[in-house]
Structure 1
Amino acid sequence: MIMMSLALLLGVAQVAPVLADQTPTNNVGYTVRAILPSNQVNRQISYFDLRVKPRESQKLAIVIENTSNRSQRFQVSANQAVTNQNGVIDYSQLSPKLDSSLKVGIANIFAGDLTQKVTVPANSQKRVTLRYTMPAQKLRGIILGGVYVQQLNPVQPKASGKIMINNAYTYAIGLSLQEGATVKPDLKLKQVGASQINARNFVTANLQNDQPGILQGLTVNARVTQAGQTQTLIQQKQAKMGMAPNSNFNFGIPWGNQELKPGQYTLYLTANAKGQQWQFVRNFTISAPLIKRLNRHTITPAPQPNYWLYLALAMLIASLLAIIGYLMYRNRHPRHAK
């Protein structure tokens, strides 16, 4: 089963993972756990893995324990699972952009209790409930989301030189709701084009899992050529990715030092995940106005060293030193030079 309980450290460049069946060892000032109901499928895991029925209404409960010596406020929300641009299933987005294939999601069944704020006194705990109601029509596959808990008043910032560090910890408890049989995921290639991520140019291929099944162990290998040519201009391979049911993300192929010109290009993309394989070939165009707009804001990549030039210069210097050495030797030993 996919691991669906984690803690993210926000505000600093670190991630503090918490396995589904472990208690966090880092002192974050609070803990969160799920109270598993009777319709839990697997009681050996600590996130919600529920078998549900049409029209069923149920309250889910979590316990927030404040282990600090001060009162803390938290925001608790039921979030839809989506796939972020790194190919990682993401439970943290309060209002994500949803895929067109998602017909019934977390926002539809948790309409009344989607977000709430709670206060937990120092060294105490509080039970928080969220109610869902399944639609009348039986659903295929899985609705995947997470109960997301975020600190609203973290510990006061600590000064580190001139940098203020504000630690805010968040927890996500996975939530899987399933009525019938498991559905296999699928992969489709949607739009292909040029775009910019963090001020760097990419060719992006929008990949969509349009089925209500979790896609795990995804490996993607992509390359770009000029249309009608075979030489690879840019390429990217990435493994160990995953996709939430009924979601999409942009797989990025960085330009690096390659300056793509306006024109026609072809994307070749292969993907595999747990015995499933996909192959796509797609022609696309990069226009001159788009290139101009991208280059206006891009970070110029650092030039790569020309090792052949360095080798030629080294050989030239060695030859000159050899000639100079020979001339000096001949001047000092004229008889031996004849």
Structure 2
Amino acid sequence: MKKFLYIVIWLYFSCLLTANSGYYAEQYATDLSDFSYEVILPKNQRNKDVGYYDLVIEPGKTSTVQLKLTNLSPKKLTLSLKYNSAKTNSNGVIEYGPNNLVKDSSLVYDFSDLVTGPNKVVLEPHSNKVITLSIKAPMDAFEGYVAGGIQVMSVENTEMKKSDDDNLVVNKFAYLIGMLLSEGEVNELKPELKFNSISVDTQKEHNRLLLNFSNIKPIYAEDMAVDVNVKNKATDKIAFELKKSNMRMAPNTQISLPISLKYKLTEPGSYILSATVTAKGGGSWSWEQEFRLSEMEIDQLNKRLNATKDSSTGQIIIFIVLFISLCLIVGVTFFYRNKKRKTRYMNKRNDREKNNRLTGQSERVSKDG
């Protein structure tokens, strides 16, 4: 009976998890334990205490650096290498790998145009290979950093398996090796942020506004904090707000910072955005921008909101039904278990009483005899 009860509870929680998640993850056999890399620091490395390239280059000259790749596995490996310009994602995290983030208009020199190397490297089992990367410096001198990264991944991980399930999630493992290119001292250079736009995002699954701004200088913006509020112009009341900290921005990149509209039914009309961004070193930028939410945009937002509510209601109903079902199953199980135990007890009691009566009768017969 205990085993049956455990199975029922396990099935319940399995159903609960299935109802709450529409996908599953598949992990390939090849992961980061199968290969490794070593950054071979050149003479023109600025900071020799870091595990990435921090190179001082000269205008118009071509230089090279080396990267050692090691196959730690007993099978042949093919590694894919991709060269990417650093960008900033919507969470204020710098991306050094391949991505679909928009390139900022302030970017003069793209890392992927300056740094070249092999796109694929084949490693025999338990072997290593040193590859050469070429850096072609721009003819004109530049200030600050050109920042980017090199992604190293097993080809087995890049070839995603075909599946009829649109919700399949595949874990991919890769090393990202940063590279900074500069021509002189960068310590005196400070970031400069520029407001670009405030817009409504009606393409994603969540209702949100997007605050887009750029770091137009070739230097990192560190330890950023953002304080945003959006007021309804007609009522002068705050409709939405956002506070976020511990953010970074790469040189000459932009960020589309999402401001959640949560589960509020929004009204069409004029709104006023007030935003303040601070960064390490005392930098502070404030913007105020009036914008309008049209009836069409509001209609799209509210339709999605209602659809989300309906979906949430459906999940709640499923959970309630499952919970009631579990309670009924457990209740019935305990009822019959207790009934069976009581029946066994009564049977034993009756047997004892019967035995006692028989024993008493035997003793009287013996005395009479």
| Global fold match (TM > 0.5) | yes
1:1-338 pair list within 5 angstroms: 28-93=33-98, 96-110=101-115, 113=116, 116-154=119-157, 167-182=171-186, 183-196=189-202, 198-227=204-233, 229-274=235-280, 275-297=282-304, 300-301=308-309
Taking the aligned partners of 1:179 and 1:92, their CA distance within structure 2 comes to: 24
Q: Whose helix proportion is higher, 1 or 2?
A: 2
- The superposition leaves residues 21-55 of structure 1 with CA deviations (integer Å, 9 ceiling, x where unpaired) of xxxxx962111221111010111111001111101
Residue in 2 that maps onto 1:315: none
- Distance of 1:178 and 1:228 partners within structure 2: 50
Q: Conserved in 1, the CA contact under 8 Å of 2:233 and 2:270?
A: yes
Deviates more, 1:187-196 or 1:80-89: 187-196
Runs (5+) with no aligned partner, structure 1: 1-10, 15-25, 304-338
How far the C-alpha of 1:291 sits from its partner, in A, is 2.4
Superposition deviation, residue 115 in structure 1: 5.9
User: Contact 2:26–2:169 (CA<8 Å) still a contact in 1?
Assistant: no
Identity across aligned pairs (percent)?
A: 28
**How far apart are 1:97 and its partner, in Å?**
2.7
Q: Cα gap change, 1:276/1:154 in structure 2, threshold over 3 Å: closer, same or farther? A: same
Larger Rg computed on CA atoms: 2
Counterpart of 2:361 in structure 1 is none
| AA at the equivalent of 1:289 | M
Superposition RMSD on alpha carbons, in Å? 2.7
Residues 228/297 of structure 1: CA separation in 2 closer, same or farther (3 Å cut) = closer
**What displacement does 1:228 show?**
5.0
Post-superposition shift, 1:293? 3.3
**Cα 1:166/1:268, change in 2 over 3 Å:** closer
- Partner Cα separation in structure 2 for residue 246 and residue 194 of structure 1: 24
How far apart, CA to CA, are the structure 2 residues paired with 1:109 and 1:157?
30
CA contact (8 A) 2:89 2:255 kept: yes
Structure 1 residues 219 and 37: CA distance shift in structure 2, 3 A:
same
Give the structure with the higher percent strand.
1
Residue 157 of structure 1 and its aligned partner are, at CA, apart by: 9.7
Q: Cα–Cα, structure 1 residues 13 and 179, in superposed 2: closer, same or farther, change >3 Å?
A: farther
Kindly tell me: are residues 292 and 213 of structure 1, through their superposed partners in 2, closer, same or farther at Cα, counting changes over 3 Å? same
Q: Deviations over 1:224-274 (max 9, x none)?
A: 111254321111111111111010011111011212121110111111111
For 1:251 and 1:146, locate their aligned partners in 2 and report how far apart those are by CA, in whole Å: 23
Please name the residue that 2:335 is paired with: none
The CA distance in 1 between the partners of 2:56 and 2:152, in whole Å, is: 23
Query: Which one is further off, 225-234 or 172-181?
Result: 225-234
Give the whole-Å Cα distance in 2 for the aligned partners of 1:253 and 1:181.
Answer: 37
Give TM-score scaled by structure 1 length. 0.75
If the length of structure 2 is used for normalisation, what is the TM-score? 0.69
Alpha-carbon shift at residue 164 of structure 1 (Å): 7.7
1:155–1:166 Cα contact (<8 Å) kept: no
